[in-house]
Amino acid sequence: MASRRVGDLVEKAAAQQGLRNDPSQRPFNNGNAQDPPLLRPNRAPNHVLLYPGCFNPPHKGHLALLNQVLRNAGADLSLAAAVIVLTDDDKLAAKNRKEERPLLLSKARRAALWREAGITGDRVWVFGGSEDSWKGLRGQLQRNLARQKIDLRFLLLVGPDWISVRSATDPKSWGCVEAVTSDISRPAAFRCPNSLRQLPKCSLWAPCSYQSSGQPSMAVAETPCETPADGSNSAPGLVYASTAVVSTCQTLRKPLRRYRFVPCELGDRPQGEAPSSTEIRRIIATCGREQLEGELAKVALSPSLLAMYALEGGPYTAPAPRASPPDHETRKLRAAADVKW
């Protein structure tokens, strides 16, 4: 009988694509895990989180987002595993080309910072290859699984600043139909105290649970919405935030895109400013050697290793958000301004 272990299936697809794999970084650690992730057969839907990003460098908010969705939506979405895909080095350099001397960590170093942070080896895999090689591997994997009548779908994991009342990112850019987010690391602009504000060109948010058939069951909450925290009148398109783990909405017209939200308890969110890679690079550019590791420990993953990387290549210039065209950090500031806690 063919293996249904995710790690075995990924390794086979990688070999078919001619991709070399470091034996110490086997996909999902399937050789050592006592409970390796399995895929459900007979065309029952299986989901894998696809978590792409620059992660230059990765921070505690990145890890909190990943853990929140894996822990609190895994059963609802039949999440088998998660794959972290890092932006290619040349794209990262192009993104920061206007800075005088930016901190640009190589893909190998960014991957090492993730792995050193102690992410769950049997559920999360840091893919160290190029973005193009990931696309080839993914296609090969899905073709192989189709022959075994295994339905594997990828869900794009993004921060809440990419899904807002202004606009929602199209998951198709990463070959996905669905995107999922949470507000565990930073506020979501569409979340009011007890309600979720409708996304542009999308249906109302509704609680979602999966039945035995594997098809999503959706029901719009009928409880009237409360007044937003800013005291303004309730706007059309607001429904109660469900007590269910996952809420979902979808585009009203084709092409179909679905968005999922995994809310956190408001008391679970860390106090103070949300962590960001931009802020970490600013710390590295402005802190002295004696202060560096202590400051990094507050926000960064693997602060000791990151401090070592920073001291090897510095000094760096402090990053500055660009307003036109708006960069990722500027979009975060806009999203924060839209929040109605």
- Peptide bond between residue 57 and the one before it cis (omega within 30 degrees of 0): yes
Query: What's the pLDDT at 327?
Result: 58
Per-residue model confidence as pLDDT tens digits over 168-224: 899 999 999 999 999 998 889 899 888 899 999 999 999 875 433 344 443 333 333
Q: What are the φ and ψ backbone dihedral angles of 197, each rounded to 5 degrees?
A: -80, 140
User: Which letter does DSSP use for residue 208 in this model?
Assistant: E
CA atoms within 13 Å, Cβ hemisphere of 229? 13
Between the CA of residue 308 and those of 33, 42, 48, 63, 70, what are the distances in Å? Answer: 30, 49, 33, 21, 30
Residue 300 reports pLDDT greater than 50: yes
C-alpha closest to that of 26 among 164, 128, 101: 128
The answer, yes or no, to whether residue 246 has pLDDT greater than 90, is: no
**Would you tell me how many other CB atoms lie within 10 Å of the CB of residue 273?**
10
Length of the chain measured in residues: 341
For 280, residues 6+ apart whose C-beta sits below 8 A from its C-beta are: 57, 59, 296, 299, 300, 306
Q: How far apart are CA 323 and CA 329, in angstroms?
A: 9
At 36 the pLDDT is: 67
Query: What's the rounded mean pLDDT across residues 297-319?
Result: 92
Helix, strand, coil shares of the chain as percentages rounded to 5? Answer: 35, 20, 45
Helix axes 277-286, 303-313, angle to 10 degrees: 50
In order, the DSSP letters of 17-36 are TT----GGG-GGGTTT-SS-
Q: Give the global pTM.
A: 0.84
- CATH number of the domain to which 41 belongs: 3.40.50.620
pLDDT digits (tens, 9 = 90+) for 103-147: 999 999 999 999 999 876 678 999 999 999 999 999 999 999 999
Whole-angstrom CA distances from 258 to 5, 74, 186, 221, 234 are 27, 17, 21, 18, 24
Structural domain total, the chain: 1
Q: Is the distance from CB of 257 to CB of 172 less than 8 angstroms?
A: yes
Domain residue limits at 297: 1-341
The per-residue pLDDT for 336 is: 53
Mean pLDDT of all residues in the chain? 81
